[in-house]
Amino acid sequence: MKKNYYLKKNRTFTFVRKYGWIITLLIAIGGLWQPKLGLLVLFIMSGLLITSFFTGRYWCGNFCPHGSLFDKIFLPISKNIEIPKPLKSKPMIIGFFGFFMFNFIRKMINIFSNWGNYDFLDKLGLLFVNTYLMVLITGGLMAIFVTPRTWCQFCPMGTMQKFSYSLGKKTGIAKKTDKKITISNPDLCRNCGLCSKVCPFQLEPHKNWNENNQFDNVNCIKCSTCVEYCPVKILSLK
C-alpha cells in the first residue's frame, strides 16, 4: 500500500465531533487534580453500550471524545499510513480485551474494598482518569506515527460495543434500528475508491456492498466521512 493512499480529509462535521476532545483532556488531565471527573466515564460507557445495541459502533464515529481527539487534533500531524494487520487481528483484539478487563476488574475489586470510606469516589474516579490518560498517551502516539484511529482497532470499549451489537442483532431489535452506509445506485459508482481512501478505519465500502446495497461491516463507525466525500453523492447513512 502506498504511503499516500489514505487521504487527510475533515471528519468532524458536527459540534460534538469538533469539540468532544475537550472532554478527553478534562478527564485525563483535569482528573489528576479532581479525580471525581473520572466518574463521567460511567455515563460515557453507558451511552456507548446502549447505542451499540441498536446501531453498532455509531458512538465511535459520532460521540466518542477520544475519537474527536484523534480526528480533530491528531489527523493533521499524523503519518496516516496503513494500519498494521496484527493490530486489527482477532488475536490482538481478544487478547488485549482480556488483558485490559483482567487488570480493570482487579483494580475495581481493590477500590470497592474501600466502600464507605470518604475517599471511595476519588479512588473510583481516579481509576477511570488513569485509563483515559493511558489511552490519550498510547492512542495519541499511534495516531501520530500510524493513523488517527489505530487505537480504535483494538479498543476494549469498541469490543464491548461489538458484543452489545451482536446481542441487538440476535434479539432482532438492531435489524429495525440499525443504520448503514447505503449506495443508492451501484451502477453510478465510479469505483474511484475515494470512500475507502477517506475511511478512518481504512475499510473498503466500494468493494463490499451486500444484496441490499449496504455496507454491512461490524467495524464501520458510521461517521459518514465516505458519504461527505463521495464525488457522485450516491452514498447515505440509513
The predicted pLDDT at position 116 comes to 79
What is the per-residue pLDDT across 14-23, written as a single tens digit (0 to 9) for each? 999 999 999 9
pLDDT at 1 over 60: no
| 89: region left, alpha or beta (phi > 0 left; psi from -120 to 50 alpha) | beta
The predicted pLDDT at position 2 comes to 54
| Mean model confidence pLDDT for the chain | 95
DSSP state of 36: G
pLDDT at 3 over 80: no
The predicted pLDDT at position 158 comes to 97
Percent of the chain surpassing pLDDT 70: 99
Report the alpha-carbon distance of residue 52 to residue 43 in Å, rounded.
Answer: 14
Contact 188, 163 (CB under 8 A): no
Name residue 237's beta-bridge partners. Answer: 181
What is the per-residue pLDDT across 84-108, written as a single tens digit (0 to 9) for each? 999 999 999 999 999 999 999 999 9
Cell numbers standing for residue 213? 446495497
pTM confidence score: 0.93
| 16: region left, alpha or beta (phi > 0 left; psi from -120 to 50 alpha) | alpha
What is the per-residue pLDDT across 108-161, written as a single tens digit (0 to 9) for each? 999 998 887 889 999 999 999 999 999 999 999 999 999 999 999 999 999 999
What is the per-residue pLDDT across 49-63, written as a single tens digit (0 to 9) for each? 999 999 999 999 999
What is the per-residue pLDDT across 172-203, written as a single tens digit (0 to 9) for each? 999 999 999 999 999 999 999 999 999 999 99
Contact 185, 237 (CB under 8 A): no
What is the per-residue pLDDT across 22-40, written as a single tens digit (0 to 9) for each? 999 999 999 999 999 999 9
